[in-house]
Structure 1
Amino acid sequence: MVAEAVTKKLYDAATMGDVASFETLVQQDPFLVDQVSFARSRNLLHIAAANGHVEIAGKLFSIAPEMCWWVDDQGMNPVHVAAMKGHLDILKVLLEHDLSPAMERLHRGQTVLHLCVKHHQLRALRFLVERLGDLARAKDDDGETLLHLAVRYNQVEMVQYLQENKTIEKLTENSMGKTALDILRERSQHTSTYSETEKVLLRLTEPFIFNEFREVTDMTMVVAGLIATMAFQAAVSPPGGVWQEDSSTHSAGKAVMASSHPDLYKQFSRANTTAFVSSLLVILLVAFRAPTSAPVFVIIIWYAALVSMASIGVSYGITFIMTNPVETVTVGLIATILVLVFMGISLLVGAYSHILQLHSAWKSTKQHQEDQTFAHRIFRWFDQIN
């Protein structure tokens, strides 16, 4: 049994961060640290983690790492306490060798990440999401994700971070069939953060191509690189080849097409140059990691990719005309086909986005109606017929 006086000294040292007193007590009896407990069933590591004393927490962890698993009367181990208080340095110490204590669930199935959201600890949340991976997708016993909880606790910055993060589940429903946007719309729309939070959440229903574009940057680089290579090769070896020697009408190395079909060659050069430059723009933005969470950059990359593909298509069409004896194929016909194809793609994307928005609005209205009491609906019906 540890003497009450020694217990108090240990508690004071852990609470105040008195490293010298703590080391003296531990030198006298190294087994003291895992024999004492305090109010709310907390151990010394809980106390150090709660008060942000990194050095003492590190010494305790090195002496008795099993203290990380000790839970208090709220079911929280020292990792949970450090996360709740936002003590990032202590989290780094406690999770340096083993992430398992951070995986332990709390009351009603909540995780340490849910705890960060509830206590407004964005820095701790960012750190833990990077370290814990798939745990960021976990739901509690009510089916609520981190995004649901961030909306409930009116955490705009956290909603922004979660919306941008690729690991987090976003469009999922809780056990009541509600998304984060549904939860937001149930609240008063007169709060100062309502419109900002709604704007962030509505980005989740953007045209699917903008959301998917963030996931396919590697493929985008490959496609843009291929188009740039094709355009460069077409410039070096244009349709019809190049003159092999000088003459009175042309110079060696110049395109034969420039002399035989000058108007067609101008169109070919413009289309080929456009394809090359626009594909380089895509490569530049993706390679230097433009902030694709911002819609403007997504739109620039997306339309630059469309322009490069359309231009290389025109370039191919002109090459086809030059090398094919069929006279019915014209640049105008090829351009018309390309315009129709890309207009069709744009219409499909726009229609898909509109359908998503309509579905979201319908679902929110339906949920609101279902939440009304039966008597309230009867009174509304009575008012309408009168």
Structure 2
Amino acid sequence: MDQSLRTAARTGDIGELYSLIQRDGNVLRRIDEVEFVDTPLHIAADEGCVAFAMEIMNLKPSFAWKLNPQGLTPLHVAVKKGHKEMALSFLEIDKDLARVRGKNGETPLHFVSKVGNPDGLLDRFMEICPECIRDVTIKNRTALHIAVENNRLDVFRVLIRALTKKDYCREVVNRKDEDGNTALHIAAIHNQPEMLKLLLNCKADKHATNLVGSTALDVAQQHNNIESIIVLRGCFGPGVSNFKHKLEKQIINYVSKASLLVFHDLDDVSGDDRNALLVILGLLLATTYQATLSPPGGVWQGEINSKSEGSYDSTVPVPAPGTSVLDPLSFLLFYVPTFIVFIVTFFLTLALIKPYPHGFRTALEVLLAFVAISFDQSIFIIAPSYVEYIVINISSSIVFFLMVFMCIAYRVSKISVSIVGCRISLLVLLIISKNEIFVGAIQGLLLSLFLYDEFWKGSIVTIGCSMFLTITARVGGGSSLRYPIVLVGCWLFFNLCRFCIRRCFKWCNTVICRTFG
């Protein structure tokens, strides 16, 4: 590189840059032809000359992707030197620069994981390009591995916070490096209890083994890291924990096989195909909902006028206004398939919107759940008698629970499933037993099992369901508060029991480790 150009880049002299270009129009082109070279952009990034760097980026965007002889891009250099403004300027121009792999396959995010989080740089990294957390080095190490190894708890917290909002959280957390070690293994080796807790809360598999067959707990015991041993032993003893792990593994295995019937290769659907499918599913939802509101033959509009109906028999009960004119058998033959189509379409829609941004997707999932509840309520109102409604609800609940198991394997939103499940299970349980205390207790148990790892979301669903049904009962002339009190009480009771058991076992493990450790 021309020494004058090097000096201009180091001092940030844009005027000198254009003077050199006027004397030699190919001065930047010759640099671009070299495969590995320190470009003026590398030098400007090293010195923190933002204005000069942006001018070079404007003239030669390709410089931002070039590696210097040390295997670093200009963004790598900016991060290494701690120039936050420079690094963010690169990312705002092209966010994919965060995923360029340099020496040892390390991306700029891996560099941040080494040097720390100066002035909140990592937070902006994750906002601009959250996908970069999935990138690995040539040793198959993620940013989590590197942050743990370098004892960067500040970085680690930001990475975990970003991961919890993504569907690939479990995949990244449990990624194994070339030695088969997950981030949990590395944290156990370096005795990082806080990082271990964050990983376990983020669905890290503590039963995963490395190439020599050791779990994270085995590694912690080999290094006699008492604090790590206490965290990894968790709330259950080894025997119970292993049984629980094997049981969960078998359930997930069988459920995953069942889910392949519907959700096979759904993640590989292109954006255009996904949009087309969503349009089709939207039409199916709208059509089935409209069919509910406008059944064949219409609905009863009011009492029959006996004067105009010569054959009217006063001994026959008059249907309530708004109910279907269909006879019970025809009603069931029409509405059972309609309900099945609606429920299956509902879950397929939830599955297809999974790649959407977290906040927007959650709002859509909740709205779809309320649409499903409205659909169910419409059938209740329009059913000729309570018997037909019971049959439809039993049919729909069977389909619902099958789809729930399939969606668990596919990791569809638990919040929307639990909202619809509250409605359907309430009605089914009331059919089985008229006892409100029994219904509230069973529902509280089901919710605690299904939302065991989402206490606050589960509390919102439980309280919201109770308030809704209480208001409905009041408006309808009822006054019983037994069901909502029991539902909320059981939800809190089961979660309190789980919390106490965890604390008890943790205390026991601490005592044992300190006594015999």
Tell whether 2:73 aligns with 1:77: yes
Deviations 1:16-36 (A, max 9, x none): 323343333333223223435
Tell whether 2:157 aligns with 1:160: yes
After TM superposition, the score normalised by the length of structure 1 is: 0.54
Partner residue, 2:54: 58
Question: Match for 1:142 among 139, 144, 155?
Answer: 139
Larger Rg: 1
Does structure 1 conserve the Cα–Cα contact (< 8 Å) formed by 2:149 and 2:187? yes
Report which stretch shifted further, 8-17 or 195-204.
195-204
Partner residue, 2:17: 22
Q: CA deviation at 1:47?
A: 0.8
Amino acid at match of 1:103: R
Tell whether 2:47 aligns with 1:43: no
Amino acid at match of 2:106: Q
Report which stretch shifted further, 27-36 or 66-75.
27-36
Does structure 2 conserve the Cα–Cα contact (< 8 Å) formed by 1:205 and 1:357? no
CA spacing shift, 1:79–1:304, aligned 2, 3 Å:
closer
Does structure 1 conserve the Cα–Cα contact (< 8 Å) formed by 2:462 and 2:487? no
Partner residue, 2:3: 8
Partner residue, 2:363: 218
| Matched length | 265
Does structure 1 conserve the Cα–Cα contact (< 8 Å) formed by 2:42 and 2:74? yes
How many Å separate the matches in 1 of 2:193 and 2:63? 45
Q: What percentage of aligned pairs have identical amino acids?
A: 23
Indicate the SS of the match to 1:113: helix
How many Å separate the matches in 2 of 1:144 and 1:344? 43
Partner residue, 1:311: 467
Amino acid at match of 1:143: N
Does structure 2 conserve the Cα–Cα contact (< 8 Å) formed by 1:120 and 1:155? yes
Partner residue, 2:186: 183
Question: Match for 1:174 among 166, 173, 176?
Answer: 176
Amino acid at match of 1:307: I
Indicate the SS of the match to 1:307: helix
How many Å separate the matches in 2 of 1:172 and 1:357? 25
Amino acid at match of 2:6: Y
| 1:212-251 → structure 2 map (5 Å cutoff) | 217-218=362-363, 222=367
CA spacing shift, 1:116–1:163, aligned 2, 3 Å:
same
Question: Match for 2:109 among 102, 107, 113?
Answer: 113
Partner residue, 2:225: none
Q: CA deviation at 1:53?
A: 0.7
How many Å separate the matches in 2 of 1:28 and 1:88? 34
Partner residue, 2:260: none
Q: CA deviation at 1:310?
A: 1.9
Indicate the SS of the match to 1:72: coil
CA spacing shift, 1:158–1:98, aligned 2, 3 Å:
closer
After TM superposition, the score normalised by the length of structure 2 is: 0.42
Indicate the SS of the match to 1:35: helix
How many Å separate the matches in 2 of 1:95 and 1:317? 55
Does structure 1 conserve the Cα–Cα contact (< 8 Å) formed by 2:467 and 2:484? no
Partner residue, 1:367: none
Q: CA deviation at 1:220?
A: 8.2
Q: CA deviation at 1:218?
A: 1.9
How many Å separate the matches in 1 of 2:368 and 2:494? 22
CA spacing shift, 1:319–1:59, aligned 2, 3 Å:
closer
Partner residue, 2:354: none
Amino acid at match of 2:28: V
How many Å separate the matches in 2 of 1:306 and 1:120? 41
Indicate the SS of the match to 1:310: helix
How many Å separate the matches in 1 of 2:85 and 2:202? 33
Does structure 2 conserve the Cα–Cα contact (< 8 Å) formed by 1:34 and 1:67? no
Partner residue, 1:366: none
Q: CA deviation at 1:146?
A: 1.9
CA spacing shift, 1:113–1:217, aligned 2, 3 Å:
same
How many Å separate the matches in 2 of 1:33 and 1:51? 19
CA spacing shift, 1:29–1:299, aligned 2, 3 Å:
same
Q: CA deviation at 1:48?
A: 0.9
Indicate the SS of the match to 2:30: coil
Q: CA deviation at 1:76?
A: 1.8
Amino acid at match of 1:173: R
Tell whether 2:129 aligns with 1:127: no
Partner residue, 2:420: none
Deviations 1:53-86 (A, max 9, x none): 1122122222222222321123222232223334
How many Å separate the matches in 1 of 2:64 and 2:368? 49
CA spacing shift, 1:49–1:353, aligned 2, 3 Å:
farther
Gaps of at least 5 residues in structure 1 are 189-193, 207-213, 230-294, 323-329, 361-386
How many Å separate the matches in 2 of 1:163 and 1:348? 27
How many Å separate the matches in 2 of 1:359 and 1:138? 37
CA spacing shift, 1:90–1:116, aligned 2, 3 Å:
same
| 1:280-299 → structure 2 map (5 Å cutoff) | none
How many Å separate the matches in 1 of 2:500 and 2:183? 19
Does structure 1 conserve the Cα–Cα contact (< 8 Å) formed by 2:45 and 2:74? yes
How many Å separate the matches in 2 of 1:195 and 1:31? 57
